[in-house]
Amino acid sequence: MRQTRRKRDSNDASKWIMYFMFIIVAPLLAIFITVGLFKYIIVPRFFPDNEVSVNINDVQNERNVEDTSDGSASTNTPQESNETLTLRLGGMNLYNVQLGSFSSKENAQGFVNELRENDINSYMIANDSFKVFAGSFFLREEADRYLMKIRESYSDAFIKHFDIKGAMIEYSISDQQYKDKIIDIVSSLNQFFATESELWSNDMNNGNASSVKELICKNNTVIRNKIIEIKKNLKSETLIQLLNSIDYQLAKRDEVANNLIATNEQSIKLFYEEYNNILFEYMKLITQS
């Protein structure tokens, strides 16, 4: 009897052990085996590191995409472009009759006074030296005719040609729409200097500078209105500085026109010299900008 009971108890214990192995141990073992296969065999074989890694730029780009009300995707507005463009300012050709060059300002001014006493419309320009010129012409033919007249008294006079190439200016692409207007401002002022210079010669010969006085005021108004039209909208510092410099030249031209006594011979000669100094300063401006 006791042997039968011991045998039965042994069979019951073996049965519970089998149940435990089947219900608990077998699933855990299966899980460990599955994890090991996936981690060390399947992932390395089918998903190499360079394919499963995440690109930080891709994540950033995804963050910059927003859903719109119609279900489409739109990107955030990009920052303003820093791209720059270039424009070339209009140049000019100027012809002057040169009569002398001096290292001393006093000697140059003395020669100018001598020329004026001989009814030669002259002026002094300070550059690397003090040069004395007579007349400012935008056409070579007019300069040549004047030279022949001057050489009757001063045989060593000659034509000094200034070939002014307009400067290249960089500006922001945001101001591209104003490019043509900037070029027009410079080209218009170049032409105004040409017509005014011709009129100065005629008025000085007639002893009455009323016409050139009026024309300078009129032309200044035209240029100033063009500047006002676009200056407040510009973003490029280079273009703003250019227009400020031109506006400064206009102010000096205003002084000439306002202070010129149109029927006074001495006043005409004095402000003719000042006008030509402004012209030479403007030539440097459009070359160096």
Regarding whether 94 and 45 lie in a shared domain, the answer is no
Tell me the C-alpha to C-alpha distance, in Å, between residue 147 and each of 101, 143, 201, 202, 228: 17, 6, 14, 16, 41
Regarding whether 225 and 162 lie in a shared domain, the answer is yes
Regarding whether 251 and 187 lie in a shared domain, the answer is yes
10 lies in a domain? yes
Regarding whether 248 and 156 lie in a shared domain, the answer is yes
73 lies in a domain? no
Regarding whether 36 and 95 lie in a shared domain, the answer is no
Q: Find out whether 267 and 261 touch, Cβ atoms under 8 Å.
A: yes
76 lies in a domain? no
79 lies in a domain? no
Triad 248, 251, 252: Cα angle to 5°? 95
Regarding whether 107 and 211 lie in a shared domain, the answer is yes
102 lies in a domain? yes
Q: Which range of residues forms the domain containing residue 41? A: 6-55
Structural domain count, the chain: 2
Regarding whether 38 and 109 lie in a shared domain, the answer is no
List per-block mean pLDDT (blocks of 10 residues) for the chain, which spans 289 residues: 48 57 60 55 47 36 37 40 88 95 94 90 90 94 94 94 94 96 97 95 89 97 97 96 97 97 92 95 88
Regarding whether 262 and 136 lie in a shared domain, the answer is yes
Regarding whether 263 and 127 lie in a shared domain, the answer is yes
> What global pTM score does this model have?
0.70
66 lies in a domain? no
